[in-house]
């Protein structure tokens, strides 16, 4: 009996002394690379003294929901869900990644090398891959472009294939399942670097942007000390060799802190799409 009480006390004291922070990941970065995620979280744990647990979701909608319910504390999401859900799901910007030294990226239109498509507008009536319905580069940007050209994407493409992952969109093009795809430029560059045999069969025919990078957001209710500690470690990663090594696995150069207004271009696009009386695809995305 005494032993049981002793073990219970130890467990409780340990759980109290080391606060668990749940870190969410979506298709923004290559979630397949769980090893990289582990290294990243271990690094954070080392630097902050907190214990980190990864939480993966398929879609941004799921992640927003988990954040709103306090089931995820920190998350790597996209600019579009940040803009759309930050008030309803109650989270805020922590840091933004630096790609090639800048907190910006592009939305690429890719196709197979031998295909003769020159623009996203050439894919009329063809199967075309979007990543997450809420992704900026993989959904919002091509929708915006098509709307601007007078097309509704769900009618323009036959059909839109949602892969919920930029890297899967790249594979869908590679296998010829879709004729083209809109993907995150950072992910594409990463695939080009890690899997040249795939990238060599593909080509980028258009690049839209630049757009503000996919941010790391934090639940608003979380302790300010935690926010501070995390922001400090993340921003300082690029100055630390171990940190740099982990950053390079994500093809990033570091993290920086930006103001909420940095995401205004995305806000503008969302406003345009809403005004175009877009029939929500959210229903589909949420199922």
Tokens of 171: 């594979």
CB of 150 to another protein, least distance (A): 23
The residue among 143 and 213 lying less far from another protein, judged by its C-beta, is 143
Strands 74-76 and 51-56: unpaired
Question: What's the maximum distance between 2 C-alpha atoms anywhere in the chain?
Answer: 76
In b/e form, how buried is each residue of 136-163, taking b as 16+ CB within 10 angstroms?
A: bbbbbbbbbbbbeeebebeebbeebbbb
The residue among 129 and 270 lying less far from another protein, judged by its C-beta, is 129
The residue among 91 and 174 lying less far from another protein, judged by its C-beta, is 174
- Burial of 287 per CB tally in 10 Å (0-12, 13-18, 19+): exposed
Closest of 11, 30, 25, 9 to residue 193, by C-alpha:
30
How far apart (Å, rounded) are the C-alpha atoms in residues 287 and 282? 8
Tokens of 106: 């592009």
How far apart (Å, rounded) are the C-alpha atoms in residues 28 and 63? 12
CB of 117 to another protein, least distance (A): 14
CB of 286 to another protein, least distance (A): 10
State the alpha helices, DSSP H only, in the chain.
2-17, 34-48, 60-68, 79-85, 141-148, 153-156, 166-174, 185-194, 196-199, 224-236, 241-249, 264-275, 282-286
Closest of 44, 205, 49, 214 to residue 121, by C-alpha:
205
CB of 194 to another protein, least distance (A): 20
The residue among 109 and 285 lying less far from another protein, judged by its C-beta, is 285
CB of 26 to another protein, least distance (A): 16
The residue among 21 and 285 lying less far from another protein, judged by its C-beta, is 285
Find out whether 173 and 194 touch, Cβ atoms under 8 Å. no
The residue among 135 and 213 lying less far from another protein, judged by its C-beta, is 135
CB of 65 to another protein, least distance (A): 18
The residue among 50 and 130 lying less far from another protein, judged by its C-beta, is 130
The residue among 91 and 157 lying less far from another protein, judged by its C-beta, is 157
CB of 281 to another protein, least distance (A): 11
CB of 162 to another protein, least distance (A): 7
Residues that bind another protein (CB under 8 A): 126-127, 129, 158-159, 161-164, 168, 172, 175-178, 284, 287
């Amino acid at each position: 009996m005494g032993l049981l009480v002793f073990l219970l006390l130890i467990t409780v004291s340990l759980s109290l002394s080391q606060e668990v922070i749940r870190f969410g990941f979506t298709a923004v970065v290559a979630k397949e690379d769980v090893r990289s995620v582990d290294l990243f979280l271990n690094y954070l744990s080392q630097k902050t003294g907190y214990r980190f647990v990864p939480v993966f979701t398929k879609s941004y909608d799921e992640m927003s929901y988990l954040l709103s319910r306090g089931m995820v504390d920190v998350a790597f999401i996209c600019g579009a869900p940040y803009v759309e859900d930050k008030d309803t799901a109650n989270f805020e910007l922590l840091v933004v990644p630096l790609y090639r030294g800048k907190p910006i990226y592009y939305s690429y239109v890719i196709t197979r090398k031998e295909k003769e498509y020159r623009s996203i507008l050439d894919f009329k009536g063809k199967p075309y891959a979007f990543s997450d319905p809420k992704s900026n580069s993989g959904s919002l940007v091509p929708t915006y472009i098509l709307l601007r050209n007078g097309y509704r994407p769900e009618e323009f493409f036959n059909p839109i294939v949602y892969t919920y992952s930029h890297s899967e969109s790249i594979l869908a093009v590679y296998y010829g399942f879709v004729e083209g795809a809109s993907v995150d430029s950072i992910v594409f560059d990463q695939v080009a670097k890690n899997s040249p045999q795939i990238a060599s069969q593909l080509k980028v025919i258009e690049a839209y942007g630049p757009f503000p990078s996919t941010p790391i957001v934090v639940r608003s209710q979380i302790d300010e000390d935690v926010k501070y500690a995390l922001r400090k470690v993340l921003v300082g990663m690029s100055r630390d060799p171990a940190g740099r090594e982990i950053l390079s696995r994500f093809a990033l150069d570091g993290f920086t802190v930006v103001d909420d207004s940095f995401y205004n271009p995305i806000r503008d696009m969302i406003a345009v799409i809403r005004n175009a009386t877009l029939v929500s695809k959210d229903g589909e995305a949420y199922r």
